[in-house]
Structure 1
Amino acid sequence: MIRILTMTFFILLLSVISSKGQTDFRVMSYNVENLFDTEDNPLTADEEFLPSGNRHWTGGRFYHKLQQVAKVITAAGEWSTPALVGLCEVENDSVLVRLLHQTPLRLQHYRYCMTHGEDTRGINVALLYQRDKFRYLGHAEQPVRFTRKQHKHTRNILHVWGEVLTGDRLDIFVCHFPSRYGGEKESEPDRFDAARTLRSLCDSVYALHPTPHILIMGDFNDTPDDISIRQILDAHPFPIRWASVPDSMRIESQTDRHPFLRLCNLFAERKTHPSGSHKYQGEWSQLDQIIVSSALADTTAAMHLVPGSARIFSPPFLLTKDKTWRGERPFRSYYGFKYEGGYSDHLPIIADFLLSK
């Protein structure tokens, strides 16, 4: 009897959703921490992640890592897996093919596209998408245009464009900005250059599509309040209170920028638990972010953000006791060089959108 009542409830719920003509569209961004295969690429510095390397990266550990990543994506979807998943720190096509065909994700019929950049370690960014929710039209990758290190190598920015069920075009950017290796301030100019490159790409979309639906996600290695994000990329807390943005926080072109090209950072000024997606030396930081154009933040539009839906996905299985700094920390694959068999040093983030048919 209870089973019959439960089934009846869900049928009624689905009929209500259908009658309103709305479809859920979940987006997820996740730095998966060194998703390498076990094969040596002579063109990259991947020696650590080989069976003979100092991390002893075996086929068994690689297979376990694939299952862990699949588990997180599946769990983050709750009722169904996310429509879009941006991934950071994936090595190559072989890794993604195995992720999508040798784990439970094979039942979700994801397709993918990824960068093939010149990062010294060989890591890239990728986008997984479900074809029944996102009609892929094309993709490109853009190297970061550095101003002080002309031959510096880092992850390219992935640009994917397509259509959603409303018929709206959606431009997606998946990013992994240069790291803080060598010091936060010393490396900061490199992230400035990455932000300038990304801002230029957004402006180019606007030049072709005056009401752009832009979705940006990834690991920025900076917080929402840092200069690269708040000033150069020009991404402000959602909802934007533009009149309250001081002149000192604007770049020259902002005063003339059309409202449709303003960017809203869904993870700025948010009070969450935990208080960030990454923990370093006992401090949480919101390095992972989802940023949208103002058209996607308009709740009257056919495709729009569900207010308050952006959050860090932090179920208990993704956390472990922090014995060094107290509290909890992400349950990682490696803690230093010690193999933990966990998931990642980052927590994933998600946001929901509604598509009105």
Structure 2
Amino acid sequence: MMFYNVENLFPPDPPSLHKFDPTPSGLRGWNNYRYNNKLFKIAYVFDWVAEAYGVHPMIIGLSEISSSKVLDDLTQIEILENRYDYIHFNSLDERGVDTALLFDRSKVEVLHAEPITFLFEIDDNVDEYIDTTRDVLWVKTKINSKIINYFVLHLPSKRKHDVNKAKRDYILNSIKNKADELVSEKEAVILCGDFNENPNDESLLKMEKTDEGNDLFINPFKELFHRKQFSTFHFHDGLLFDQFLVSKNFTDSDFQLQFQEAHVFNHQKLSSWDRKFQGRPFRTYAGTRYLGGYSDHYPVITEFRKK
């Protein structure tokens, strides 16, 4: 299973009347050539993952998806062999980017899907609300006769001195409570996404236990972060915001899917050619400058063994 923040995947912008007109994507010069180049690059990432692990990802969580159109175009690329269907809902995010889930239709049965929206009050004295977050995508699936719930997240960023921390904490606590209910009903749960938190941050450490102190989630990315495995960078800081958390079911001896390992897929082909940025993702844009790369994040992978 795989998660990938694909960095602003928008359809091509229509021609502007003036070079300073704002564009739907917010990107400079985002045309058909650059769009198709990015789609093919992302498709090849999926294929390189299959080469590395001997099998195509069964589930792929995505973030920074602007619309169903880009998923239609992506899943129809020939190299993917019409393997994937997708689930996507438009959210109220201020930048117009959402989460989505690709799934291998030959292996995964979707039972239910819905977006979970979070509204935050502007002011206690004003009866108005604002939502500047991406929805959390919830998909209930059946795999090998077992029910597995996926939550795909892209939590609010740490910009402006981390003004969004309270929102991230609230969303995570809400999802934890929902996951606790599902696990108590003998259903497995996987969280994947860009958490905008490192694995050792307090809010993610709290996800490992229920409010009653019972085991709930395992975060295998803690060990990767300790070993300085990073999925993205901010100036000089390596970050591991992209993670999977798996419910305790996946370590139970009688469960049909057994968790094995987690990885940051920092393949050389996905990395910057610039020696100054060696070991970092080869991104599509640096500010307004087009670089032509894949994304400013590496994908992350979790491996499971079928009993």
TM normalised by structure 1 equals 0.77
**Partner residue of 2:268?**
316
Amino acid at match of 1:160: V
Any residues of structure 2 matched to 1:1-357 within 5 Å, and which? 27-39=1-13, 47-48=22-23, 55-78=28-51, 79-105=54-80, 107-146=81-120, 150-165=129-144, 167-184=145-162, 186-206=163-183, 209=185, 211-231=186-206, 234-235=207-208, 253-255=211-213, 257=214, 259=215, 262-270=216-224, 275-306=229-260, 309-321=261-273, 327-356=278-307
> Secondary structure, in 3 states, of the residue corresponding to 1:96?
helix
Q: Distance in 1 between matches of 2:295 and 2:116?
A: 26
Q: Is the 8 A contact 1:170 1:214 kept in 2?
A: yes
Aligned residues: 294
Amino acid at match of 2:142: E
Q: Is the 8 A contact 2:7 2:284 kept in 1?
A: yes
> Secondary structure, in 3 states, of the residue corresponding to 2:112?
strand
Amino acid at match of 2:221: F
Q: Is the 8 A contact 1:299 1:305 kept in 2?
A: no
Q: Is the 8 A contact 2:182 2:188 kept in 1?
A: no
Instruction: Name which of structure 1's ranges 192-201 and 329-338 shifts more when overlaid on structure 2.
Output: 192-201
Listed one character per residue, the Cα deviations across residues 224-253 of structure 1 (whole Å, up to 9, x for unaligned) are 11122112xx23xxxxxxxxxxxxxx77x2
Q: Distance in 2 between matches of 1:354 and 1:47?
A: 48
Shift of residue 63, structure 1, vs aligned partner: 0.6
Q: Is the 8 A contact 1:86 1:125 kept in 2?
A: yes
Q: Distance in 1 between matches of 2:119 and 2:191?
A: 18
Instruction: Name which of structure 1's ranges 292-301 and 170-179 shifts more when overlaid on structure 2.
Output: 292-301
Shift of residue 145, structure 1, vs aligned partner: 4.8
Shift of residue 206, structure 1, vs aligned partner: 3.3
Unpaired segments ≥5 residues, structure 2: 15-20, 124-128
Q: Is the 8 A contact 2:199 2:225 kept in 1?
A: no
Shift of residue 104, structure 1, vs aligned partner: 1.8
Change (3 A) 1:299 1:337: farther
> Secondary structure, in 3 states, of the residue corresponding to 1:193?
helix
Q: Identical aligned pairs, as a percentage?
A: 29
Q: Once superposed, what is the RMSD of the aligned Cα atoms?
A: 2.3
Q: Distance in 2 between matches of 1:317 and 1:353?
A: 25
**Partner residue of 2:17?**
none
> Secondary structure, in 3 states, of the residue corresponding to 1:80?
coil
Amino acid at match of 1:277: S
* Structure ranking higher in strand proportion: 2
Change (3 A) 1:114 1:287: same
Q: Distance in 1 between matches of 2:190 and 2:231?
A: 19
Listed one character per residue, the Cα deviations across residues 116-144 of structure 1 (whole Å, up to 9, x for unaligned) are 11001110100000122111111011012
Shift of residue 193, structure 1, vs aligned partner: 1.6
Unpaired segments ≥5 residues, structure 1: 1-26, 41-45, 236-249
